[in-house]
Amino acid sequence: MTRRRRDWLLFTGWALTGAGYLLALLSILSIGIFILPVPLIGTFVLATRHDAQRGLPGLVSSASLPLFLLTYLNRHGPGTYCSTSAHGGSCTEGLLDPRILLAVGALVLAGGVTLFLVMQRRTAIGSAPLRSP
């Protein structure tokens, strides 16, 4: 496996691990305690890998996943949204603007990816052979 592909896998692993921690934290009053072992195992598995720190910017990008979930849940907001079914209808009030949530989520995701790419470039420059004149 190439180093570049391995680095992206580490980035993705750290992003999913961070998302697991966030999900456990956000749902701590219900199922969070049952979710927490999954990111803990993910942390152990990733931290014991050689050069695992190269994928750590994935933790930054993981903060975008709850924002994307909130964007989806508020996709009909802001304002009142009514739906009907065979058994009746219901109306809900969307309080959050999904466009703002989507923009913030995209910025956080892009920030983590940018940090990852900058670290990759610095690592590639630092490991490049020196040319003699």
Helix axes 3-26, 98-127, angle to 10 degrees: 140
**Secondary-structure percent of the chain, ordered helix, strand, coil, rounded to 5:** 65, 10, 25
Amino acid at site 43: T
Per the CB < 8 A criterion, the answer to whether 101 and 70 are in contact is yes
Q: pLDDT: is 56 or 91 the higher one?
A: 56
Per the CB < 8 A criterion, the answer to whether 108 and 64 are in contact is yes
Q: pLDDT-derived band of residue 28, with 50, 70 and 90 as boundaries?
A: confident
Per the CB < 8 A criterion, the answer to whether 58 and 14 are in contact is yes
Q: pLDDT-derived band of residue 91, with 50, 70 and 90 as boundaries?
A: confident
Per the CB < 8 A criterion, the answer to whether 60 and 108 are in contact is yes
- The predicted structure's pLDDT at residue 132: 55
- The predicted structure's pLDDT at residue 43: 93
- The predicted structure's pLDDT at residue 102: 92
Beta bridge partners of 89: 84
pTM of structure: 0.73
